[in-house]
Structure 1
Amino acid sequence: MTNISKRRIKGRFDDLTAPPPDTTGMPEDVAERKIREHQEKKQRVIHRRKELTPLLHDLENVGIVVDDVWDLVNTNEDYLEAVPVLIRHLELPYSEGNKEGIVRALTVKAARPDAIQPLLRQFRNATDNDAVGLKAAIANALDVVADKSVMDDLIALSLDSEHGPARADLVRKLARWKRDPRAQHALEHLVDDPYIEVGGRARKALGK
């Protein structure tokens, strides 16, 4: 059996080791609320990381040791060997916070091209259509990893207003391809999109 060398990747932030808030000079009720919120946040992190146990185990099996998938998001280190594991776990039923961490960890060029289709499926299936959240994070990942082989998919998703402002980064991707007539036509249509995040990106791309 081959021994795999392991390396620990530490993110720049760790909610579990963050010190409690300085409540000096605060009214007693405010100080108590701040401390309580800090403790509750730590408990949420503990619960979220417990759910991540299968992913963290699989990452360690390929030589990547982390306490949290967000450690990969908050690092400048490369983690190419982790990408296939992340893609596999992307399509498992994690909670939204952990799913977003996986998505953001895949928002790297090293995830091309294998992550493209899984990310497209995740975007179609996600139900939060807000400008910030899981679906918007998936759009941001597609902006980084998608190539022209899925341009027609991105155009169709960008033109579908049911996806709301979460489409904004898909439009940014189309803006990079605006010399292609297909992208150009889609951007011209999106100029009048009812969501300012989407229409604004289209207008900026076309210089309007």
Structure 2
Amino acid sequence: MAKMTKTPTEDRAMTPEERAAQMRAYEDVVRERIAKAKVEQADLIRELAQEGVDVELVQDLMNRPNNYVHVLPILAKHLQLPYSQLTREAISRTMAMREAHPYWDLFARLYKELPPTNSAERGRPDDGLAVALSSSMPKTKLLEMIDLLSDQGLGDSRVLLLRALRRSREPLAKEAIDRLKDDPALTKEIHSWRRRKKP
């Protein structure tokens, strides 16, 4: 087998000029990404502003207190539109609050209907919806949440649903956690809780 040879840049550290050029290229990519997101989210951002919620991107809502409960209907409407994966994840995550419980059924339906994530595109809408489901789960939805967690076809994002069961004091939740402890997508998280409990 032929011996692999390194390129000259791999044999030495980057010069300050090369490092600066690399940083400029990265910043250009970020600026382009933000510009595209602003165009994509223009209608949503305008509707939020009409209700007194001023942000440049919906992602910015995740860095402020949950004082925007009154715009949850707007977010729920836009969550159902064909945005990019990154924007759909961001909308879901901004709705990850207890006050979003009226939208739990919507989150569950969208979660189950999601197409496979495109790994070539940024964003994980399945993760975003899982966080929203977990944060907003009413007690009356415990059995449905257990069904979601038990469905291995829904993928690894199910691990983010576990928080709702862990918070619950219902015996059914504890039984479900014990039953799911060997699920490949959940076992590491569940066993980590038990290790932390040890003195």
Q: What TM-score comes out, normalization by structure 2 length?
A: 0.79
1:184 equivalent to 2:171? Answer: no
Give runs of aligned pairs for residues 86-101 of structure 1, distance below 5 A: 86-101=75-90
Cα RMSD for the two superposed structures: 2.5
2:9 aligned partner? none
Structure with more helix by fraction: 2
1:134 aligned partner? 125
Q: Write the distance in 1 (CA, Å) between the matches of 2:15 and 2:90.
A: 34
Q: Which ranges of 4 or more aligned residues in structure 1 deviate by more than 4 Å?
A: 205-208
CA 77–201 in structure 1, closer or farther in 2 if over 3 Å, else same: closer
Greater shift in the superposed pair: 56-65 or 154-163: 56-65
Structure 1, unaligned runs of 5 or more: 1-24
Larger Rg: 2
2:147 aligned partner? 156
Give runs of aligned pairs for residues 57-206 of structure 1, distance below 5 A: 57-76=46-65, 78-111=67-100, 113-126=101-114, 127-128=116-117, 133-177=124-168, 179-195=169-185, 198-203=186-191, 204=193
How big is each residue's C-alpha offset from its partner over 1:103-141, in whole Å with a ceiling of 9 and x where there is no partner? 111112232x222112112221232399x9321222122
Q: CA deviation at 1:205?
A: 6.4
Q: Is the 8 A contact 2:59 2:94 kept in 1?
A: yes
The code of the aligned residue for 1:161 comes to Q
The code of the aligned residue for 1:115 comes to Y
The code of the aligned residue for 2:104 comes to I
Q: What TM-score comes out, normalization by structure 1 length?
A: 0.76
The code of the aligned residue for 2:176 comes to A
2:42 aligned partner? 53
% same residue: 28
Structure 2, unaligned runs of 5 or more: 1-13
Q: Is the 8 A contact 1:129 1:165 kept in 2?
A: no
